[in-house]
Structure 1
Amino acid sequence: MTRFFKTALTVLTVTAAPLAFGSVANAQVSGIATANPTVAIAKTKAFSAAYSQIGTQYKSYFDQIDARNKTLNGLRAQLDTNNDKQLTQEELDAAVKAKNPVLQTIQTEENEIQKLQTPAIKAQMFAVEGIFSEYGNAQQKVVADKKISVILDPEVFLYAPSQIDVTDAITAALDARIPTVSTTPGADWQPQRNTVALHQQLQQLLVASARNQAAQAQQQQPPAAQPASR
């Protein structure tokens, strides 16, 4: 569970930037088409606005989490007996066997981080569930407009021309149906099981997108000037 929350925190800090996914022209499609629901939702205006709003609303929480993560890093370093900056399972097992009190302090810090992250993650899931509630209607509009008989996952195909991908068309239909979404769940609201799974997929997608953008930015940087030889 802790690993999941850490992933969610990372995502909240990167969603202000546009997703680094290619766009497919909305060509006329007839018969079989492909679509990626996760990407379609991630590219909606409602999703981007909701995550940006959550990032601002819970900024003070994230600042506290950053401080606690720094404390955690210091605590974990105390268990890194060979000082290679990697905490291995063997080192953890040794700490457990020795009943190292640092382990309890680490658990306490992780519990506090989880408490701080929970409200933001719940708000994210509420927004995702709101968008997903319109996905079926948006998809049906695209099916009718483009006279589609079957929509399959892109991974099903060994080869398919880009023109049959209707992901962007579904995103456009979602934007039209639900341009904004609430990020304030009721006190008793709990996410549906498919919402939790979709949220995890979105987090992974956004992290991957952020890494791609960072890698591209690094590649575009000019090489450092070499000192003149004498």
Structure 2
Amino acid sequence: MKRYFKTALAVLAVTAAPLASGSVAQAQVSGIATANPTLAIAKSKAFSTAYSQIGTQFKSYFDQIDARNKTLNGLRAQLDTNNDKQLTQEELDAAVKAKNPVLQSIQTEETEIQRLQTPAVKAQMFAVEAIFAEYGNAQQKVVSDKKISVILDPEAFLYAPAQADVTNDITAALDARLPSVSTTPGADWQPQRNTVALHQQLQQLLVASARNQAAQQQQQPPAAQPASR
């Protein structure tokens, strides 16, 4: 199971803040529709609640991870010989060739970060797997309600009207069927392969959303300061 977890570690400490959600389209979709399963799950109440709970439950772990990441960045900076704040493969190769002891320190920090992250990753994957298990039922309800014959990935369309996208409808159906999920897997529980892939996609989506929000905040003009007397 370690190899499953390892792929998700770089973007673990992202809390699932509510993603922007448009109003559910009321117009009937005639025959063909589009939906983004990853986005539908990310917008669901069960997902955001589960990630919030995990963030609280493992806060002390995340604090330790943050501290060790700062140490790790400092160690990597020592190998940045041209001081361009980019650690290239050539610089790593040079460090290996010189048997730089910093490499061992980096390995120690990375191993400890992975150990600290694993319980939270496991809890996240457990929640994601439970939500995904209900996704098919939620999708089928939307298919029946809107009399849909085919649902395609958004990238399969060159053009589609807004009401063809039923992602929000599926999220609403998920919320009705599964408002919350457990975040406590059993000791012997292991994620399915499709759960690992979906978890990675969700983490990437959260990171992209956080970056977009940060960029928008930076673009906003500063608040006007009151005039001094």
Q: TM-score, normalised by structure 1?
A: 0.91
For residues 103 and 23 of structure 2, the distance between their equivalents in structure 1, rounded to whole angstroms, comes to 47
Q: 5 Å matches for 1:1-230? A: 4-9=8-13, 11-12=14-15, 15=16, 17-20=17-20, 22-222=22-222
For residues 55 and 137 of structure 1, the distance between their equivalents in structure 2, rounded to whole angstroms, comes to 28
Where 1:203 maps in the other structure, the secondary structure is helix
Asked if the contact 2:44/2:172 (under 8 Å) is kept, the reply is yes
For residues 67 and 171 of structure 2, the distance between their equivalents in structure 1, rounded to whole angstroms, comes to 37
For residues 145 and 203 of structure 2, the distance between their equivalents in structure 1, rounded to whole angstroms, comes to 31
Asked if the contact 2:22/2:168 (under 8 Å) is kept, the reply is no
Q: TM-score, normalised by structure 2?
A: 0.92
| Structure 1 range deviating more: 84-93 or 122-131 | 84-93
Structure 1 residue 27, shift from structure 2 partner = 2.1
Where structure 1 has 5 or more consecutive residues not aligned to the other structure, the ranges are: 226-230
Asked if the contact 1:26/1:169 (under 8 Å) is kept, the reply is no
Opposite residue 37 of structure 1, the aligned amino acid is P
Structure 1 residues 180 and 86: CA distance shift in structure 2, 3 A: same
Structure 1 residue 218, shift from structure 2 partner = 1.4
User: What is the RMSD computed on CA atoms of the aligned residues?
Assistant: 1.7
Structure 1 residue 37, shift from structure 2 partner = 0.3
Where 1:50 maps in the other structure, the secondary structure is helix
Where 1:27 maps in the other structure, the secondary structure is coil
Where structure 2 has 5 or more consecutive residues not aligned to the other structure, the ranges are: none
Count of equivalent residues: 221
The percent identity for this pair of structures is: 84
Where 1:26 maps in the other structure, the secondary structure is coil
For residues 171 and 135 of structure 1, the distance between their equivalents in structure 2, rounded to whole angstroms, comes to 9
Runs of 4+ in 1 over 4 A off after TM superposition: 21-24
Asked if the contact 1:35/1:152 (under 8 Å) is kept, the reply is yes
Structure 1 residue 133, shift from structure 2 partner = 0.5
Structure 1 residues 44 and 189: CA distance shift in structure 2, 3 A: same
